[in-house]
Chain A
Amino acid sequence: MLDLLAQLGRSGLAALERLGRGHLLLLGMIRGLPSLAVRPRLLTAQIYNIGVLSVLIITVSGLFVGMVLGLQGYYVLSQFGAAESLGVMVAASLVRELGPVVTALLVAGRAGSALTAEIGLMKATEQLSGLEMMAVDPVKRILTPRFLGGLIAMPVLAAMFSAVGVLGGYFVGVGLLGVDDGAFWSQMQAKIDLHEDVVNGVIKSLVFGLVVTWIALFQGYDAVPTSEGVSRATTRAVVHSALAVLALDFVLTALMFGD
């Protein structure tokens, strides 16, 4: 019994220690942000890696999610004679929830895992120590550009996801199921609020961008420098990111849309 308690205590302390290291890394990356002003190329390269290279998976996913929303929404709404509200339903679902959340999950899977593996391998092959020995701070030079790149890329990708999703819903609802074209767009225009829906969605995707990139970078930076350690860190990055995004989505939704 005492052993079990001791084990629990050790695990708790280790988790707290990791949490502390994670926050120190976040602080270090935030402190490093001004250094990017003199090396903007480091940032643009990471926006390309994290953002541009994720565009294909984001748009294809957005299209299919929008099409499914159009299909399911039509079946439900038509039962109440409200099929013309399909545009509002699709747009609200995407802009408020599915855009930021699914984009964050996809970015965690594609770019987050790649970030963790890259940083973990740089650690395992002593590249980070090599930078330290060249008097170059790896947090500033390697991690910070990736952090800001993820932060910038996420809202843009979420916007693209939502936009393509709306087109997918339009294609199914109007193109295939015969919902009125004018009603689809005019109701969407009338009911979707810039602050309530769009700005809140952008805030969500910014928060998710921060969390997903931070978790991915920390897992790589804190990885055990072996092939097995990097593999475990990559898995942890995706799992922790997904759980954090879903949990934060609930909290943010309650704060933003709760009465």
Chain B
Amino acid sequence: MGRRSPRAHRPSRSQGASAARHRAPAPSAGSRAALGSAEVLVRIRGLVFSRNDRRIFDGVDLDIRRGQVTAIMGPSGTGKTTLLKLISGQLHPDAGTVEVDGKDVHALRRGELYRLRTRMGMLFQTGALLTDLSVFDNVAYPLREHTRLPESMIRKLVLMKLEAVGLRGARDLMPAELSGGMARRVALARAVALDPMMIMYDEPFTGQDPISMGVLITLIRQLNDASRLTSIVVSHDVKETASIADYLYIIANGRVMARGTPAEVEAAQSPWVDQFMHGLPDGPVHFHYPAVRLDQDFLG
């Protein structure tokens, strides 16, 4: 794998311009179909994926615009994390294509895929920090692996990244000494260490206290805007995710159930989407697991 400068893959000027207008109204579902390839960083077409005879995705089409925060939401077990793994090439689809920056991820050779991954960051649900390395060494890890920068420069870069997530003072701690929220912030600093073009967040808010959640929400938005990133946030925390997203996809039963800006999805007429967005206990998704009638169960 070729070594490179960490700035070698800064977003292009057009990407920057795209990022600068991230808060401009996102295109509606109708106009989205006509998005050009320059605007779209991730393009998914006809995605089919099954696991153990269970169809997770059944012909999913999806576009992620450059410079935006796109949220992918849906109930637990609908394959949101699986979708991120398909985008990053960790899993292979049964059918369909996933293009990242114009490259068909699953047609790439291993070396090409790894080169593409140096331009993609991912924040795992658990943080995925290397437990035998300190916070500093975790953030320095991708820089040491993929660049020839001198140690003095790596130190400065790592401290900058840690400062951005508010944990410069925690550089000498080990992962076991961090709280869940801190671990995710360190993982976020590591994910942006190589200045990637996009970051994927896998359930970033799960299990966070209100303060940590607020910090993460702010960080995701600020990092996206300040670093001209493209962000994909996978979550089932509706309120928090919708508050920072430019565009939403709601996935369930292997299909995209709704798409649009948060306001468009909020106003959707679908009872299923309404139940999900407002957290209603009963609706198209039943509260009770299928069973025989209660009186039959009690009276035999």
Contacts and interface: CB of A to CB of B under 8 A. Distances in A.
A129 B90 contact: yes
B272 interface: no
Contact of B141 (A125, A132, A134): A134
B142 A125 contact: no
Given A132-B90, A133-B122, A127 B131 contact: yes
Interface in A97-154: 125-127, 129-137
B120 A133 contact: yes
Contacts of B121: 133
Contact of A130 (B1, B118, B128): B128
Nearest to B120: A133
B128 A126 contact: yes
A135 B90 CA distance: 11
Given A133-B122, A134-B142, A135-B146, A127 B128 contact: yes
9 contacts: A125-B126, A132-B90, A133-B90, A133-B124, A135-B114, A135-B115, A135-B145, A136-B145, A137-B114
Contacts of A134: 117-118, 141-142, 145, 190
A132 B117 contact: yes
Interface residues of B, number: 24
Contacts of B129: 127, 130
Interface of A: 125-127, 129-137
A129 to B, nearest CB: 6
Nearest to A141: B145
Contact of B117 (A125, A126, A133): A133
Contacts of B128: 125-127, 129-130
A126 B124 contact: yes
A125 B90 CA distance: 16
A35 B70 CA distance: 39
Contact of A135 (B1, B131, B190): B1
Nearest to B142: A134
A146 to B, nearest CB: 13
Contacts of A137: 114
B88 interface: yes
A129 B121 CA distance: 12
A130 B114 contact: no
Given A129-B90, A134-B117, 12 more contacts: A125-B126, A126-B126, A129-B85, A130-B122, A130-B128, A130-B129, A130-B187, A133-B121, A135-B117, A135-B145, A136-B141, A137-B114
Nearest to B114: A135
Contacts of A132: 88, 90, 117
B109 to A, nearest CB: 13
A93 to B, nearest CB: 40
B78 interface: no
A125, A127, A131, A133: residue with the most chain B Cβ atoms closer than 10 Å:
A133
A135 B122 CA distance: 11
A46 to B, nearest CB: 12
Contacts of A136: 141-142, 145
A130 B142 contact: no
A230 to B, nearest CB: 14
Given A134-B117, A135-B114, A126 B125 contact: yes
A129 B122 CA distance: 10
B130 interface: yes
Nearest to B117: A135
Minimum-distance CB pairs A-B, first 9: A130-B128, A135-B114, A126-B128, A135-B117, A133-B122, A126-B124, A135-B118, A134-B142, A126-B126
Interface string B83-120: 00100101000000000000000000000001101101
Contacts of A129: 85, 90, 124, 128
Interface in B214-229: none
Contacts of B118: 134-135
